Structure 1
Amino acid sequence: MIRVAVVDDDFRVAQVHAEFTERVPDFKVVGVAHSAEQARELVDTRNPDLVLLDNYLPDRSGIALLAELDVDAIMLTAATDPASVRAALAAGALNYLVKPFTAEQLGSRLTAYARYRGRLPVTGGAVDQDEIDRAMRLLHEGDRPAAPKGQSPLTSQLVLDALQRGESARSAAEIAEELGIARATAQRYLAALAQDGKARMTLRYGASGRPEHQYEPLSSPR
């Protein structure tokens, strides 16, 4: 479970961001802060893995605070000037998402962060350059343009994750049952993953002789 702290001066916005975060599997909001002082106390007492940080705080800027925090952070802010973006990245922000944004946009970045964190855990042995390159690509997987109408990047990632958890090729019916979505929805996303080169489709023939589509991932996140 990835522990998240949400920091935003607007109470309502902070609650919305917390709700967006809680929708993503394996993410849990451990606290909300509305100022830099509250944020520092929250980080010190609740030890989050990730901070979702606004820049416009009442007592100081989020970017200034970020430079002093020893924790992963993603900026969620209305600041769109290049100087702020560069300063945030220089201070250590792993990603930068401009308000307003949708639950899907935040969810795709959180899912990408989880995969990056899995590739580069906090503890462990040395990694080589290829491993670092893979981790960086995973971190920004969620930065792609929005999916075509009717397709959710978050759902697509959940379907791909379900495929990668399997020990063998899986059908749309099996994915649908695991994720609690309609079989037709699972089939649509699986087909899109195959078209994008992220999954391979094969056919399995049952007793009735009618073939069933089976899917397996073309690469593993680990």
Structure 2
Amino acid sequence: MIGVLVVDDDFRVAEVHSWYVGQVAGLKVIGVAHTAADAVRSVADLKPDLVLLDNYLPDRPGIDLAAELRVDIFMVTADSSATSVRAAFAAGAVNYLIKPFSSEQLTSRLRAYVRYRTLLGDQPNELSQQAVDRAIDALHEADKPPTPKGQSPVTARLVTEALRRADNPRTAADVADELGISRATAQRYLAALADDGRATLSLRYGSTGRPEHQYVWITAL
């Protein structure tokens, strides 16, 4: 069972978040804290695997605690500043969820975290790059936008993986040839990746002078 510490200065919010955690198989709330000082003590005493951490605590910003706590951190906060998001991930946060959010937004990310922990296992064994990639993909699966209406999740995944593993920009024709699908289908799915910000789009001019769209996966994602 994965132990979770919930840290929020609002008693009611902490109670709600604890209830959400309790709905996810494999997770158990082992403590609740309402200040940074309480969070530090609770981590030392209870040794949770995951901390749901608000940034707006009365005695110290939660982000300041993230690296100090030395456990996996989900930032769950109303702080939506880009500076705070960057600081949280630099401090070791594994996810960042901005209030207000739906119960499904939180629970889906928590379920993804359970899959991530399951794939990594608890033993200090050596992992292949493929195993690491699978675990990272599982951790962030819930962060990805849903497949657009009318698209096949299977085809979307195949096109996404073809673009992710490419060493050079790919055109719809390149992806269509690799996957055995029509050029129009490849173009539609590649355009969707560009629209939701997971790929960049540029133009390539061939010998005929007619431009082709070419796509590159944004490797930071």
Would you call these one fold, judging by a TM-score over 0.5?
yes
Give the SS at the match of 1:68.
Answer: helix
TM score, norm. by length of structure 2 = 0.65
Displaced runs of 4+ in structure 1, greater than 2 A?
121-124, 144-148, 195-198
After superposition, where does 1:136-155 map in structure 2 within 5 Å?
Answer: 136-145=136-145
Give the SS at the match of 1:3.
Answer: strand
State the AA in 2 paired with 1:20.
Y
Larger Rg: 2
Percent identity over the alignment is 56
* Equivalent residue, structure 2, for 1:72: 72
Distance change (3 Å), C-alpha of 1:116 and 1:41: same
Q: How many residues align?
A: 153
* Equivalent residue, structure 2, for 1:14: 14
* Equivalent residue, structure 2, for 1:108: 108
Give the SS at the match of 1:52.
Answer: strand
Deviation at 1:135, TM superposition (A): 1.1
Deviation at 1:85, TM superposition (A): 0.2
Deviation per residue, 1:138-171 (Å, 9 max, x gap): 11011133689xxxxxxxxxxxxxxxxxxxxxxx
Deviation per residue, 1:149-199 (Å, 9 max, x gap): xxxxxxxxxxxxxxxxxxxxxxxxxxxxxxxxxxxxxxxxxxxxxx6339x
Deviation per residue, 1:54-99 (Å, 9 max, x gap): 0111111111111101111110011111000000000000000000
* Equivalent residue, structure 2, for 1:90: 90
Deviation at 1:122, TM superposition (A): 3.8
After superposition, where does 1:113-192 map in structure 2 within 5 Å?
Answer: 113-145=113-145
Distance 1:62 1:122 in 2: 27
Give the SS at the match of 1:197.
Answer: helix
State the AA in 2 paired with 1:74.
F
TM score, norm. by length of structure 1 = 0.65
| 1:196 counterpart = 2:175 | no
After superposition, where does 1:38-49 map in structure 2 within 5 Å?
Answer: 38-49=38-49
RMSD across aligned positions (CA): 1.9
Larger displacement relative to structure 2 (116-125 or 40-49): 116-125
* Equivalent residue, structure 1, for 2:26: 26
Deviation per residue, 1:29-66 (Å, 9 max, x gap): 11110001000111111111100000111111111111
Distance 1:137 1:59 in 2: 35
* Equivalent residue, structure 1, for 2:61: 61
Deviation at 1:25, TM superposition (A): 1.4
Distance change (3 Å), C-alpha of 1:37 and 1:146: farther
* Equivalent residue, structure 2, for 1:189: none
